[in-house]
Chain A
Amino acid sequence: MKTSIARKVSMALSAFFLMIFLLQHFAINVTSIFSGETFNNLSHFMGTNFAVQYIMQPILIFGVVFHFVMGFILELKNKGARNIKYAKNNGGANSSWMSRNMILSGLVILAFMGLHFYDFWLPELKIKFVDGDWSGVLEGETGLRYFTELQHKFVNPIRVAIYCVAFIFLSLHLLHGFSSAFQSIGANNKYTRALSKFGMAYAILIPLGFVVIALFHHFNHC
């Protein structure tokens, strides 16, 4: 990644990949509202399928790590490009808060991912790769465990609140990131306005959907 354009294009490509993943994640999670059985079956498939586990998951991990690392590299380089700050700077006059604070919203998302991994991913790794249990069934019980685990995670109101705040920041990140990614790969043409509106809908509806899922399980469990 020697040039500025190569770096911004690589950020955009990893962003596209992550936005597609987010959509897929949402599509599976939203089934938990309507049918615990469907959610269990889909989760079990994703958690035990060879291609998902050993091909898609490593690509996803690389995509996430790359996006964050490159984001920090760009932030550091950009800070260095202005060695003396302005005494007075009216950024709000010419750009959105979201576009100027992508590193802040990104850091909140990173912190949230730490909690999310602690909640779901690390226990999954332990069950599968340490305990060697790929059955998806808890010992002494019948039926798949994923829906029950999901509900238990959203009992604690503090955790639910943290999830909701994190998704607000995810929305703020996407409100700039979606259209910015298209601009970075050179897509600025007669479709840009329509694409921006679609991006705005994506940036609001998908995180909102995750918030609804968290609140639904919190209030339905209590």
Chain B
Amino acid sequence: MSTNKDMNLILKIWRQKDQKSSGKMVDYKVNGISPDSSFLEMMDVLNEGLISKGEEPVEFDHDCREGICGMCSLYINGEAHGPDRAVTTCQLHMRKFKDGETVTIEPWRAKAFPVLKDLKVDRSSFDRIQQAGGFISVNTSGNTQDANATPISKYNADKAMDAATCIGCGACVATCKNASAMLFVGAKVTQYSLLPQGQVERKERVLNMVKQMDLEGFGNCTNTGACEVECPKGISLENIAIMNREYLKASITKED
């Protein structure tokens, strides 16, 4: 796919001074972009140009740049993490775009993900959902049992591992027409409900995480399946179905 010919692009980028200000789309030109560079490297080139001109650089979230931390975001040309599949924005290469193309770059849009500045959003609502139940309580007083000593079926181990690959980037929320967080919450609920260590808090977990998800102002899932398609880790819709089952069972059988 690579042509090695450097690219010139027109960027339409959301600029917003702070959380309280109203933002707007601003046009920029970037020239000499290598098709083999990553999308975030292209953003770096843009920012270096802006800094050299004495202008304020565009702020965006990023960290590991290896597709595992879940920090990068960006809604690129109308899709979360851009047009490629099963990749984060940091893994997206410029060869996916055409020379001279206009690229629209926006922050994740959701009431529960307020924009902090430019393309940076506050995803602490995900942290609060995790804190509501996305954990297991383990005695660490010195006689902790080795997790490997607990038998677990291969099927459940694989399913739990698939769910655990969710990096919490928020692409599911960003791409869902309802700004629903059910794929994220479903993945966390599934991961723990399949593991022996997750059984003790199984009912409280799903009830509390769903309650917190609703409190944060995320929308209701209508099963469009967009989240599954755009998820960089390929988290399946099955996780939402499992969460729905877990929630129904916990609601019916809870003791208080």
Contacts and interface: CB of A to CB of B under 8 A. Distances in A.
A128 to B, nearest CB: 39
Main secondary structure, interface of B, reads mixed
A174 to B, nearest CB: 14
Interface string B188-222: 00000000000000000000001101100111111
Contact of B79 (A2, A82, A87, A93): A93
Contacts of B111: 80-83
B110 A8 contact: no
Interface string A172-214: 0000100110011111110000000000000000000000000
B248 interface: yes
A74 B177 contact: no
B110 A81 contact: yes
Contacts of B118: none
A94 B247 CA distance: 27
B235 interface: no
A129 to B, nearest CB: 38
Nearest to B207: A3
Contacts of A81: 110-112, 178-180, 217-219
Interface residues of B, number: 47
Given A86-B106, A87-B25, A87-B104, A8 B221 contact: yes
Interface string A1-25: 0111111110000000000000000
A140 interface: no
B220 A7 contact: yes
A77 B77 CA distance: 26
Nearest to B239: A188
A158 to B, nearest CB: 33
Contacts of B178: 78, 81-82
B83 A93 contact: yes
B225 A99 contact: yes
A5 B210 contact: yes
Contacts of B184: none
Contacts of A77: 219-220
A180 B12 contact: no
A35 B254 CA distance: 54
Contacts of A180: 222-223
A86 B224 contact: no
B48 to A, nearest CB: 25
A147 to B, nearest CB: 40
A142 interface: no
A90 B79 contact: yes
Contact of B221 (A4, A95, A187): A4
Nearest to B245: A186
Contacts of A7: 220
B203 to A, nearest CB: 14
Contacts of A84: 109
19 contacts: A3-B211, A4-B220, A4-B221, A5-B243, A8-B221, A78-B219, A80-B217, A81-B219, A82-B110, A87-B104, A90-B79, A91-B78, A93-B229, A94-B224, A95-B177, A95-B225, A99-B223, A180-B222, A183-B241
Closest 8 A-B residue pairs measured CB to CB?
Answer: A90-B78, A81-B219, A186-B245, A188-B241, A78-B178, A94-B229, A81-B179, A99-B224
Interface of B: 12, 14, 25, 75, 77-79, 83, 104, 106, 109-112, 175, 177-180, 182, 210-211, 213-214, 217-226, 229-230, 237-238, 240-245, 247-248, 251
